[in-house]
């Protein structure tokens, strides 16, 4: 006769039931580790130690999970406080860059879907409101938002690719030195202007952002 469960202590660990929150947390971790190319529902289920089909009790598709994961990390951008429009935008865009550096899969994913999650909408509302209160409207306002967003996404995408390839500050300095010496020897005009030995990504980002914001200022109504 098989032993009855009532005759023994069954202290085997039990997996907690899945929740949408656990799925999203695991999805962010998987995307951070493997990138978008390595993301699948099977890999996500394995990380959660669950059956793949059990995930579909909480989400309809892989795309649902990606939408939720993206909005989750956008929530890492701190809600903007009141202040001058330019300072507010610099603060929010600087934090956006930091989020995309922590989660390198974000720039590519934002280009593939509408950003309509609650965190994304809240931050977009701040963004549009700041520029509208500064005096922009209509197509000019939309173009300003698009230009700023494209600048940050493009800058960080290039930055992430660079560090994925170069990996260390020492290797970065070495290749910059080689390029600088080559330009000195062969392309004098570029050597004078290109400043390839400048590896300060933070300063470059803020300077480029200032140039765009300066351009936006010229479109503001007088006063």
Q: 87: Cβ–Cβ under 8 A, 6 or more apart, which residues? A: none
Judgement on whether residues 88 and 125 belong to the same structural domain of the protein: yes
d(CA 182, CA 176): 10
Answer yes or no: do 51 and 93 share one domain.
Answer: no
* Token reading at 27: 């999805």
188 with 89, same domain: the answer is yes
Report in angstroms the alpha-carbon separations of 176 from 102, 186, 193, 199, 201.
24, 15, 14, 8, 13
Reported as a pLDDT band with limits 50, 70 and 90, residue 123 is: very high
Question: Residues 90, 213: contact at Cβ < 8 Å?
Answer: yes
Contacts of 131 (CB under 8 A, 6+ apart): 85, 89, 141, 144, 145, 216
Q: Is residue 74 part of a domain?
A: no
pLDDT, tens digit, for every residue of 9-56?
A: 656 555 568 999 999 999 999 999 999 999 999 999 999 999 999 999
Do 111 and 43 fall into the same domain? no
Q: What CATH number does the domain containing 173 carry?
A: 1.10.357.10
pTM given for the model: 0.86
């Amino acid at each position: 006769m098989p032993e009855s469960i009532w005759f023994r202590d069954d202290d085997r660990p039990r997996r907690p039931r899945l929740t949408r929150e656990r799925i999203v947390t695991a999805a962010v971790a998987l995307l951070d580790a493997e990138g978008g190319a390595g993301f699948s529902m099977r890999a996500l289920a394995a990380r959660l130690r669950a059956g793949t089909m059990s995930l579909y009790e909480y989400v309809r598709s892989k795309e649902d999970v990606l939408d939720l994961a993206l909005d989750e990390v956008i929530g890492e951008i701190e809600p903007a406080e009141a202040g001058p429009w330019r300072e507010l935008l610099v603060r929010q865009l600087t934090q956006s860059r930091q989020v995309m550096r922590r989660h390198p899969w974000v720039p590519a994913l934002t280009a593939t879907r509408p950003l309509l999650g609650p965190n994304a909408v809240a931050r977009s509302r701040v963004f549009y409101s700041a520029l509208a209160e500064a005096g922009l409207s209509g197509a000019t306002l939309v173009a300003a938002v698009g230009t700023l967003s494209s600048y940050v996404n493009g800058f960080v995408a290039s930055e992430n690719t660079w560090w994925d390839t170069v990996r260390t500050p020492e290797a970065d300095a070495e290749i910059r030195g080689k390029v600088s010496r080559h330009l000195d020897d062969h392309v004098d005009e570029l050597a004078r202007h290109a400043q390839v030995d400048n590896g300060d990504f933070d300063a470059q980002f803020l300077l480029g952002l200032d140039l765009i914001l300066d351009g936006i200022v010229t479109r503001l109504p007088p006063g």
